[in-house]
A and B are shown apart, each in its own frame.
Chain A
Amino acid sequence: MESDANHILDQVTQGEYKYGFVTDIETELAPRGLSEETIRYISAKKNEPEFLLDFRLKAFSHWLTLKQPTWAHLKIDPIDFQDIIYYAAPKKKKDLESLDQVDPELLATFNKLGISLEEQKKLAGVAVDAVIDSVSVKTTFSDTLAKHGIIFCSFSEAVQKHPELVKQYMGSVVPYTDNYFAALNSAVFSDGSFCYIPKGVRCPVELSTYFRINAANTGQFERTMIVADEGAYVSYMEGCTAPQRDENQLHAAIVEIVAMKDAEVKYSTVQNWYPGDKNGKGGIYNFVTKRGICKGSNSKISWTQVETGSAITWKYPSCILLGDHSVGEFYSVAVTNNHQQADTGTKMMHLGRNTRSTIISKGISAGKSNNSYRGLVRISKNAVNSRNYSQCDSLLLGEHCGAHTFPYIQVDNKSSVVEHEATTSKISEDQLFYCQQRGIDTEQAIGLIVNGYAREVLKKLPMEFAVEAQKLLAISLEGSVG
């Protein structure tokens, strides 16, 4: 009987990826492979100032001294870094002044993704900065934002228009020496988003970026920088999809957040990149370094992520709690199905006094997948009276998947308190039968139960994202349920 329930679970959890299509847009590519020349090519293409080329070259020579890390609970095929194209940009005919001038193919892509810019523009004042294969195509709402003195543009544009800000903050939270993939990104990053909220300004709209990997064989290396000056507030949403391709594609991004005194940054991610097929062929390698620093007192950074895609996910959005009374939060739902592997979690580094952090992680594994939570909570000697609460739950669907929890805790003073709770559960036959008896079929029942399980995290997402995330959870587990 057990096996029957498993059989049902197997059937409904073997969904096909819904976003697999390739957009036929003329693309301009860098020569394949990685060398100093590639880097000079990218930098020249982007007409970058000297300091940036320097930064890239230093990062590259540092990267050459590093080896790919092996410590995560992941099986990774060797990556041939010479077989990757490091820069791909849709060929621009001329500069774009309005949406009508955007490549219709591109707009169609957004429509397939269900995020037409037209609609988005009207929607509840969401400003969308759409990134397709490295180059930011269109930034909307820039006027409204400009009125408040908010800078929200592509990273490349920021390099041209606000080089002093870029120079000041780039690499200040994630130095290129941080890790293997951070060094790689620092050497070859192509584009991304840049956001600066001036003192005392509460950003009136949710800022949103949709990333999409399109061209074949291109790694995507975004860099996102968010700076909230004293007393500022911003909520930022990042969403991602990639078309279906057989070769594994590398995605190694960097996100840096700086929150000054009394500032708050909410960063939400919904990631549903191509996870590979049922047999584990293809899919995105998602190796991302995300880190924020609460620089000033009373500042706050919260990360909320819903991770349903990618063949391999390796990311630990982290907070450095430097300012006294600063707050770090990490809310995560990670779903793995078929042969997906995820090793994700967070680091909370308590340096200031009276700092607080909360970690809520919900792992959901199905099929033959592996899902690991890896978290570090470190409370330094000076971070007196600090607190951390961590809760790591795992939900297993079926018999062939794995869930693992690796909490690392280090407390160097006596006045701080760290609490850690962990649970592992399964969807019970009783729950399924109860739903079915009310006329709800197995697929929908699993969707309901899984969404219920993840609710604590989902409710932290901005409204428009929460709806999308709920659908994604159900879809990634069975294929068609909304």
Chain B
Amino acid sequence: MLLSIKDLHAGINGKEILKGVNLEVNKGEVHAIMGPNGTGKSTLASVIAGRDVFEVTSGDVSYQGKNLLKMSVEERAREGIFLGFQYPVEIPGVSITNFMRTAVNELRKHRGLDPLPGGDFIRLMEEKKKLVEITSNLTNRSVNEGFSGGEKKKNEIFQMAMLEPLLAILDETDSGLDIDALRIVANGVNRLRRPDNAFVVITHYQRLLDYIVPDFVHVLFEGRIVKSGGKELALELEEKGYDWIKNEQD
């Protein structure tokens, strides 16, 4: 098993947001997490990535058999956890090239490898840029600075392709994408799918799941996963809306 979350409770400033989440993700699987606004989807993603503004009050999370909650943010990243941000952050003056070069070399250092020679790095970047159909000058620009919403999301997938994570959590990577961009992003993900990695895709739209076909769909509601099923659950949600879930809960 890649990731196992048991009865996870977490919150911020004393306010509980996750109220007992259970989730198991195996290698080779794609999970979709859906649910109304403000129910804790991004919080769950942040807690898995290790963001320390959120406080874990109880529960266990194991990743590749190790206690994930004991690891620092960068350790988790180097061990293969990738978070595609719902709101990617701007870093003025730092080019994507420079940013990715630092990240790739940190990853290599962690694996006991020497830094990637300049030429090899450029080649790697060109290859991955094709995967998400990024035009060449975007990578010379500062990280996310002045990027359109769609460019920011493509940049997240590009970074994922560069780092080849084992567990990729994509938080609403489809929001704000036009039809073409959606297809590009989804194709990017599909090409990166391997038997030894897994994806957790957070989305509001069934549309994305036409492209990235999930093995499981979960509904996160008021801090808990209240319903899980196959890909047909997404269709059902689309049809019936969240009131259906709310009513079931009451």
Distance in Å: Cβ of B113 to nearest Cβ of chain A: 13
Say yes or no: A437 contacts B98, CB within 8 Å: no
Q: Are B92 and A439 in contact (CB under 8 A)?
A: no
Contacts of B36-61 to chain A: CB distance below 8 A = 49-53
Instruction: A350 to B203: give the CA distance in the assembly, Å.
Output: 59
- The answer to whether A430 touches B98, judged by C-beta atoms less than 8 angstroms apart, is no
Chain B contacts for A201, CB-based, 8 A: none
User: CB of A67 within 8 A of chain B?
Assistant: no
Give the CA-CA distance A169 to B8 in the complex, in Å.
76
Q: A431, A439, A455: which contacts B74 (Cβ < 8 A)?
A: A439
Contacts of B209 in A (CB 8 A): none
**Do B106 and A437 have beta carbons less than 8 Å apart?**
no
Q: Which of B82, B90, B106, B142 contacts A440 (CB 8 A)?
A: B106
The chain B residue with its CB closest to the CB of A444 is B102
CB nearest neighbor in A for B77:
A439
CA distance A439 to B106 in the complex (A): 6
| Inter-chain contact B93/A454, CB cutoff 8 Å | yes
Q: Is the beta-carbon distance between A438 and B77 smaller than 8 angstroms?
A: yes
Q: Which of B92, B99, B103, B106 contacts A453 (CB 8 A)?
A: B92
Q: Tell whether, in the assembled complex, residue A440 and residue B74 are in contact, meaning their CB atoms are under 8 Å apart.
A: yes
Given contacts A433-B73, A439-B110, contact A452 B83 (CB under 8 A): no
Contacts of A419 in B (CB 8 A): none
Is there a chain A Cβ closer than 8 Å to B20's Cβ? no
- Contact indicator A452/B93 (Cβ below 8 Å): yes
- Give the docked Cα–Cα distance between A451 and B92 (Å): 9
* Binary per-residue interface labels of chain B (68-86) against chain A in the complex, 1 for a CB within 8 Å, 0 otherwise: 0000111001100011010
A429 and B90 alpha carbons, distance in the complex (Å): 12
**Smallest Cβ distance from A446 to chain B, in angstroms?**
11
A463 at the interface (CB under 8 A from B): no
Q: Are the C-beta atoms of A438 and B159 separated by less than 8 Å?
A: yes
Residues on A with C-beta less than 8 A from B103 are: 438-440
B106 with A456: CB separation less than 8 A: no
CB distance from B23 to the nearest CB of A (A): 19
Pair B85/A436 contact, Cβ less than 8 Å? no
Q: Looking at chain A's contact residues, is the secondary structure mostly helix, strand, loop, or mixed?
A: helix
Output the nearest chain B residue to A458 by Cβ-Cβ distance. Answer: B93
Q: Are A434 and B94 in contact (CB under 8 A)?
A: no
B163 touches A438 (CB 8 A): yes
| A439-B107 in contact given A429-B53, A451-B94 (Cβ < 8 Å) | yes
Q: A449-B94, A451-B93, A452-B91 are in contact. Are A433 and B106 (CB under 8 A)?
A: no
Asked if A431 and B52 make an inter-chain contact with CB atoms under 8 angstroms apart, the answer reads: no
Q: Contacts A448-B99, A448-B102, A452-B142; is A437 near B94 (CB within 8 Å)? A: no
Closest Cβ–Cβ distance, residue B158 to chain A (whole Å): 12
A4 to B72, CA, bound (A): 14
Chain B residues with CB under 8 A of A433: 51, 73, 89
Q: Which of A420-437 contact B (CB under 8 A)?
A: 428-431, 433-437
Contact B106 A441 (CB under 8 A): yes
Could you tell me the distance between the alpha carbons of A128 and B6 in the complex, rounded to whole angstroms? 65
Q: Is A64 an interface residue (CB 8 A)?
A: no
Give Cα A455–Cα B110 distance, bound, in whole angstroms. 28
Min Cβ gap A1→B in Å is 5
Separation in Å of the A208 CB from the closest CB of chain B? Answer: 26
Verify A437–B91 contact, CB threshold 8 A.
Answer: no
The reply to whether A431 and B91 contact each other, CB–CB distance below 8 Å, is yes
Residue in A closest to B100 when the chains form the complex, CB atoms: A438
Alpha-carbon gap, A1 to B12, bound state (A): 10
User: Smallest CB-CB separation from B159: which chain A residue?
Assistant: A438
Instruction: Name the B residues within 8 Å of A440 (CB-CB).
Output: 74, 102-103, 106
User: Which residue from A429, A452, A456 sits with its C-beta under 8 Å from B94?
Assistant: A452
Q: Given A429-B53, A437-B49, A439-B74, A448 and B85 touching (CB < 8 A)? A: no
Q: Is the CB of A456 within 8 A of B93?
A: yes
B89 touches A439 (CB 8 A): no
With contacts A429-B53, A448-B99 known, is A437 near B77, CB below 8 A?
Answer: yes
CB of B28 closer than 8 Å to a CB of A: no
What chain A residues lie within 8 Å of B53 (beta carbons)?
A: 1, 429
Q: Which residues of B contact A434 (CB under 8 A)?
A: 85, 88-89, 91
Please give, as numbers and ranges, the residues of chain B lying within 8 Å of A453 by CB-CB distance: 92-93
User: Measured between C-beta atoms, what is the minimum distance from A164 to chain B in Å?
Assistant: 47
A437/B73 contact (C-beta < 8 A), A1-B53, A430-B89, A451-B94 known = yes
Return A70 CB to nearest CB of chain B, in Å.
36
- Report the bound CA distance from A436 to B76 in whole Å: 9
Q: Are A436 and B94 in contact (CB under 8 A)?
A: no
Q: Give the residues in chain A near B92, CB-CB below 8 Å.
A: 452-453
Contacts of B73 in A (CB 8 A): 433, 436-437
Nearest chain A CB to B162's CB is how many angstroms away? 9
Annotate A445-471 by CB proximity to B: 1 below 8 A, 0 otherwise: 000110111111000000000000000
| A-side contacts of B107, CB under 8 Å | 439
For B163, the chain A residues whose CB sits under 8 A away are 438-439
**Residues of B with C-beta under 8 A to A456:** 93
B163 to chain A, nearest CB (A): 7
Interface residues of B (CB under 8 A from A): 49-53, 72-74, 77-78, 82-83, 85, 88-94, 98-100, 102-103, 106-107, 110, 142, 159, 163
The 3 residue pairs across chains A and B that have the minimum distance between CB atoms: A452-B93, A452-B94, A455-B93
27 contacts between A and B (CB under 8 A): A1-B53, A431-B89, A431-B90, A431-B91, A433-B89, A436-B50, A436-B72, A437-B49, A437-B77, A437-B82, A437-B85, A438-B102, A438-B106, A438-B159, A439-B74, A439-B103, A439-B110, A441-B106, A442-B74, A448-B91, A451-B94, A452-B92, A452-B93, A452-B94, A453-B93, A454-B93, A456-B93
